[in-house]
Every structure is written in C-alpha cells, then in structure tokens.
C-alpha cells in the first residue's frame, strides 16, 4: 500500500488541458493495476494531488441538467467563459480565478475502499481548514460539499465536490471558493440546487484577498493527516 502523494501545483491552467492531464494520470494507474493482475511481482500504484486555478469555465457532470446553465453560447463568450460536459458525478459548477481546485488522483486501495468515506474526508479537509479561519462549516444532508449556516435561511455553499472513480481510482475533486468572483454563479443553478446561496472565504472574513498559497498549505496538511499519507514530491508544472 503506497501512501506517498505526489503534489503538483499547476497554477492557472486551461480546464480542458487539465482534464486531459488528469485522464493521463488516471488511465496510467488503471493500466498499472491491470498489469499487476497478470504479474507475480506487482508494482506500487502512484497517487497524485493536483492544485489548480482555471480561467472562467462551467462544467456539467454526467447526471446534470443543461437547463441549470442559464446563459447562451453568446453570453458565455461575452463573459470570456467556456463550458464542458464532463465525466464526473454531480450537476453544474463553476471554476474561475481565485478558486482553489483540487484533483486527488488516488488508488484508494492504497488507503481504504469506500467512496462515501473518501468524499467525507474531502469535506472534512475543507471543514478543518475553515475552522483555522474561525468559521464553522458543515455538511448538508443529501448535498455533497461544504456549507455555512446549514438549516437556516442563510445557508450558503463554500466548496463544491464531484468525483469519478473506476476500480477504486479517483479523479476530479473539489472547488473551494477563496477569492472567487461570485457574480459568475448568477449564470447557473449551482449544483442544480435552487434557492441556496454561494460564498467565498474572503467574503466571509471581510477581506479583499486571502493568500492562496496559505490556504493550500492548510488544505494539504489536513489531507495528509486524514489519509495518513506523506508527500513524495512537490513539483511545479
């Protein structure tokens, strides 16, 4: 069981390019698992964690509804945004500058074989990080992700999640609003959930900007502790 994680911070990178990069890593792990089934000497499968910011983009999960995107192709172009139908779970979401997107590409057989537990650990990573900023975040029953003021008229989502898994290998992940322009959420029904607001860390703290690197370090600290993992290599791509 390999509990080493390779951390790649991709900076600001096009969504489609990042998706293809994820797919390459994902398929590489699946191929190694297939090879290991046929060999006496089995090689350890690698684990990756990608941090990235995307230019403005809307993505629709395989169970999503296109009507949750509320604007036309022309309006998308005017907003300098793109749109993709993708192969993760969940409905529609937005990615943009100032948002920390994390893509753990893990072989869960190195950790535990439980997708429900995996999602709860990703949520817990966000909840613990927000606690360091004095914010009490929670889960909302039946709604994957992380929220503030659950069960009140002021409930608002601060982190969305959507994953894909095959043979216990994961891809896609979470989108954590840190310094995000929340105006872009007005052009969709976030995650297909009506009448619920979205927020970001800088808004909640009443600050113009929160250092992204500071937040990434907190996220990674909690991720490693929850998954009982270690960093193998930090690579800038």
Q: Is the pLDDT of residue 22 over 60?
A: yes
State the binding site for substrate: 88-95, 160-162, 173-175
Instruction: List pLDDT tens digits, range 49-76.
Output: 999 999 999 999 887 888 989 999 899 9
| Sign, Cα dihedral of 135, 56, 234, 108 | positive
Q: Is the pLDDT of residue 234 over 70?
A: no
Enzyme catalytic residues: 191
State the binding site: 88-95, 160-162, 173-175
- Which domain covers residue 75, as residue numbers? 4-236
Question: What average pLDDT does the segment 219-231 reach?
Answer: 98
Pair 105, 47: CB distance under 8 Å: yes
Domain count along the chain: 1
Q: What is the percent of the chain where pLDDT is above 70? A: 95
User: Parallel, antiparallel, or unpaired: how do β-strands 4-12 and 230-236 relate?
Assistant: parallel
Tokens at 81, concatenated: 């945004």
Q: pLDDT value at position 237?
A: 44
Q: How far apart are CA 220 and CA 172, in angstroms?
A: 16
Instruction: List pLDDT tens digits, range 77-88.
Output: 999 999 999 988
Roughly how many angstroms between the first and final C-alpha of the chain, as a whole number? 26
Q: Is the pLDDT of residue 187 over 50?
A: yes
Question: What average pLDDT does the segment 151-177 reach?
Answer: 95
pLDDT band of residue 193 (cuts 50, 70, 90) is low
Return the H-helix or E-strand segment holding 156.
Answer: strand 156-166
* Mean of the per-residue pLDDT values of the chain: 93
- 212-227 vs 115-131: helix crossing angle, rounded to 10: 140
User: Parallel, antiparallel, or unpaired: how do β-strands 143-148 and 4-12 relate?
Assistant: unpaired
135-142: Cβ within 8 A, 24+ apart: 135/201, 135/204, 135/205
Backbone region of residue 232 per phi and psi (left: phi > 0; alpha: psi in -120 to 50; beta: other values): alpha
How many other C-beta atoms can be found within 10 angstroms of the C-beta atom of residue 237? 11
Q: How far apart are CA 53 and CA 192, in angstroms?
A: 22
pLDDT band of residue 199 (cuts 50, 70, 90) is very high
Q: Is the pLDDT of residue 194 over 80?
A: no
Burial class, 5, CB count within 10 angstroms (exposed 0-12 / middle 13-18 / buried 19+): buried
Q: pLDDT value at position 40?
A: 76
CATH number at residue 80: 3.30.930.10
Q: How far apart are CA 141 and CA 110, in angstroms?
A: 28
Q: pLDDT value at position 134?
A: 98
Question: What average pLDDT does the segment 187-203 reach?
Answer: 81
More confident residue, 62 or 26: 26
Alpha helical stretches, state H, the chain: 15-38, 73-78, 115-131, 201-205, 212-227
Question: What average pLDDT does the segment 121-145 reach?
Answer: 96
Q: pLDDT value at position 192?
A: 56
């Amino acid at each position: 069981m390999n509990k080493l994680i390779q951390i790649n911070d991709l900076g600001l990178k096009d969504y489609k390019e990042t998706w293809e990069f994820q797919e390459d890593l994902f398929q590489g792990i699946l191929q190694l698992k297939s090879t290991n089934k046929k060999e006496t000497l089995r090689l350890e499968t690698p684990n990756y964690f990608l941090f990235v910011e995307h230019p403005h983009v809307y993505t629709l999960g395989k169970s999503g509804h296109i009507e949750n995107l509320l604007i036309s192709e022309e309006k998308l172009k005017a907003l300098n945004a793109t749109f993709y139908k993708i192969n993760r779970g969940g409905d529609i979401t937005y990615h943009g500058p100032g948002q920390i997107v994390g893509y753990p590409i893990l072989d869960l057989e190195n950790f535990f074989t439980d997708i429900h537990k995996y999602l709860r650990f990703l949520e817990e990573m966000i909840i613990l990080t927000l606690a360091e900023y004095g914010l009490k975040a929670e889960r909302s029953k039946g709604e994957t992700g992380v929220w503030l003021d659950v069960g009140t008229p002021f409930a608002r989502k601060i982190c969305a999640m959507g994953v894909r898994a095959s043979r216990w290998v994961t891809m896609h992940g979470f989108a954590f609003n840190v310094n995000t322009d929340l105006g872009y959420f007005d052009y969709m029904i976030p995650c297909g959930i009506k009448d619920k607001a979205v927020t970001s860390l800088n808004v909640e703290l009443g600050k113009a900007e929160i250092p992204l690197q500071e937040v990434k370090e907190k996220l990674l600290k909690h991720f490693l502790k929850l998954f009982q993992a270690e960093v193998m290599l930090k690579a800038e791509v």
